[in-house]
Every structure is written in structure tokens, then in C-alpha cells.
Structure 1
């Protein structure tokens, strides 16, 4: 399986290969197909593969059940990744005010430094 492939794409490609081999006379038992699929998953699926191997009897696990389990995990994984991206994209709106030039008083450099430090502190706490 390629890193960006979905389970459906991977299973479709796998099924095409197995069907081609069966047409040539090579057959695989259900157990062998399940093992080949589990081995072909990328490293981000390692926890799911381990969970399936420890909780299921792989010699009796139907392909449909494996595919359903993998698709469910993929949906949950996608949701979690989307939530993380949404949190990273949190935007900040700043209130802007304008003053007439005649109303603006000249500030001391220390006042500007204090204002800058306060704004920076507020932004980092958000």
C-alpha cells in the first residue's frame, strides 16, 4: 500500500492482482490473503495491525471483516488528522483603531516596548 492510498484503492488493486493470479492457476487461501494485506499496510497502521493480530483468529478471519475493520480505522484516523489540522489553523482577529494625527501624542520608547511586550504575551497565550 502506498502512503496516500485509501483502503478501498489498496483492496481494489489487491483483488485485481489475486484475480489475475487465479486466472493463471495460482490460488490463495483466505488466511494467506489476510496476512498479505496486513503486511502491506504502511507503518502508521502498525497499531491496528497489532490489535487485529492479537484479538482475532487470523486463520478464520474473513476478508470482508478485515476490510470493514480497516475502513473504520481509516475513517477514524482521517477525522483525528482533520481535527489536528483545524486546531493548527486557529485564526486570531485583532481589533484595530485609528486616531487623527493631531490627537496622537509622541510616546516614549519605553511605552512602545511595554505595549509590544503585552501584545506578544497575549498572542502567545491564545
Structure 2
């Protein structure tokens, strides 16, 4: 029984580290896009919006999604580490691209410097 508890702790730790890092990366990417395109979400400023809304939302979505996909892949396919990890990483990458497309390039911001609020450094082959 102790081995199963240690496995769950390691899975939880991995979910926190990878999901938290991916969430932080999404917030940094969104912040950079908003800064470069001069997007203003509210009169308070973008910093507090990203800190109090962006970080918790991105963190929770990434941590929960990574945990669910990783643990499900490990239990159903009997995978050791690499394939469940890869499946979970792909899942949070797709989710982060969707979140960035929705929040990072807000269509409701007409005063943007960038066409369609997509920053010039964003690769054209990745849809937003």
C-alpha cells in the first residue's frame, strides 16, 4: 500500500510542476502579446488582470488537465512514464493554444496595434 501512496504523491508533484510551469508560460505569452499589441482589458491595467485572473485560471486548467490525462493514460494503457507524459503534454499544449487564442488575442479590443490582435512575432502556421 505504501508504494501506491508514493506513486500518487509523485504523480501529484509532477502535475503541479508541469501544469504550473505551463500555466505560467501561458500567462507570460499572453502578457507579451498584450504588451506588443497595446491591448488594454480594463482601466486597472493588464498586470492585475493577469495576476488575479490569468494565473489562477491557467494554473488550475493546466494542473487538472495534466493530472487527469497522465493518470488516465497510466492506468488504462499500463504505461510507465514516457507515453502518459507525452499524452498529457500534448493535451495541455492544445488547451493552452485554445486559451491563448481566446484570451491572448481578444477580439473585443478595437484599439490594438496588431491586425486581429495577433502579435507580429506569432507564427503564421499556428492558428489563433
TM-score band by shorter chain is: 0.3 to 0.5
Q: Considering only CA atoms, is the larger Rg found in Structure 1 or Structure 2?
A: 1
Higher helix proportion (structure 1 or 2): 2
TM-score by length of 1: 0.35
Greater RCO between the two (CA within 8 Å, min separation 6)? 2
TM-score by length of 2: 0.35
